[in-house]
A and B are shown apart, each in its own frame.
Chain A
Amino acid sequence: EVSSEEFSRRHLSFQRATIRHTYLNSFSTETQSAKYGINQFSDLSQEEFRDLYLGAVYERAPLFSGLSVKE
């Protein structure tokens, strides 16, 4: 049960997702390539998705030198 305002918002996010899918799938030329389409996140805007699910903070790491500490 959602308000008509929220329903409209979710519907718009869903429509935008389908447009995104067409673009993303246009690169999938090989059988093993990634496929993009409707899933549990399709009625979220990209901003909502980032805010809710992408919670990692990147911290720069030193380049791997190829040598272990012992070496």
Chain B
Amino acid sequence: LPDKFDWRDKAAVAPVQDQQACGSCWAFSVVGAIQSVHAIGGSQLEQLSVQQVVDCSYQNAGCNGGSTTRALNWLKQTRMKLVTQSEYPYKAKTEICHFFSQSHSGVAIKNFTTHDFSGQEKAMMGQLVQYGPLVAIVDAVSWQDYLGGIIQHHCSSQWSNHAILIVGYDTTGDIPYWIVQNSWGTRWGNEGYVYIKIGGNICGIADSVAAVFL
């Protein structure tokens, strides 16, 4: 594995977005992974509709929260094509699902995997490099106050409450860390990103990690 790896360097990560006062992190992380893997596959990077997932993933609760696994499972089972963000813009509230015809272009997933990588974060690095940005669930209670730097404390595992997108890692410095894209806008953290120490399952980052396949 390379000492450092960042999918942003390969133009495969869309800009940081802002979920606003809506518990839709689960949709942002899932859509973020899909649009990245789509770009890695040779397509142009384009922002796909988070609102479509918020409105249509019926097993989840829209702005009241949801599960990344359930959202991915729904996308896989229904072969629902995600349309672009401009065709189905984000509203930061749950609305009625808008359907598009089968002939309408969009991006569908073929499969996904979800694993617990606790104690195996090196293998998780391998998955990131091999498959693309990873969807993960973390304990983000202390992130309310985060300004920047590498998180090493104040996070628990097994109490996850927030979905994020892991886009890279860096092991070249004293503290190896994951590069994580959040969905709270660019004013938060390191221009919308948060760094989490690799090893020790900090914030539960390795508890439930998904890779998507298109």
Contact = CB atoms under 8 A, between A and B. Distances in A.
Interface string A27-62: 110101111110111101010011111111111111
Contact of B141 (A37, A40, A54, A55): A54
Given A54-B25, A55-B64, A57-B26, A41 B144 contact: yes
Interface residues of B, number: 59
Contact of B148 (A24, A30, A35): A35
Interface string A9-27: 0000000010011001001
Contacts of A28: 149
Nearest to A58: B160
Contacts, number: 149
B25 A20 contact: no
A50 B115 contact: no
Interface in B100-123: 114-118, 120, 123
Contacts of A40: 184-185, 187-188
A56 B160 contact: yes
B150 A60 contact: no
B65 A56 contact: yes
B151 interface: yes
Query: Do most interface residues of chain A lie in helix, strand or loop, or is the interface mixed?
Result: loop
A55 B184 CA distance: 12
B67 A59 contact: yes
Contacts of B11: none
B81 to A, nearest CB: 24
Interface residues of A, number: 36
Interface stretch (B16-24, B37-45, B83-91): B16-24
Nearest to A28: B149
23 contacts: A24-B153, A28-B149, A34-B147, A35-B147, A39-B145, A46-B144, A50-B161, A54-B162, A55-B66, A55-B161, A56-B25, A56-B163, A57-B70, A58-B137, A59-B208, A61-B69, A61-B207, A61-B210, A62-B114, A62-B115, A62-B116, A63-B118, A64-B115
Interface of A: 17, 20-21, 24, 27-28, 30, 32-37, 39-42, 44, 46, 49-64, 66
Interface of B: 19, 21-26, 29, 60, 63-70, 114-118, 120, 123-124, 137, 140-142, 144-154, 158-163, 173-175, 184-185, 187-188, 195, 204, 207-210
Given A34-B195, A61-B210, 8 more contacts: A35-B147, A39-B188, A56-B66, A57-B26, A57-B65, A62-B116, A63-B115, A64-B124
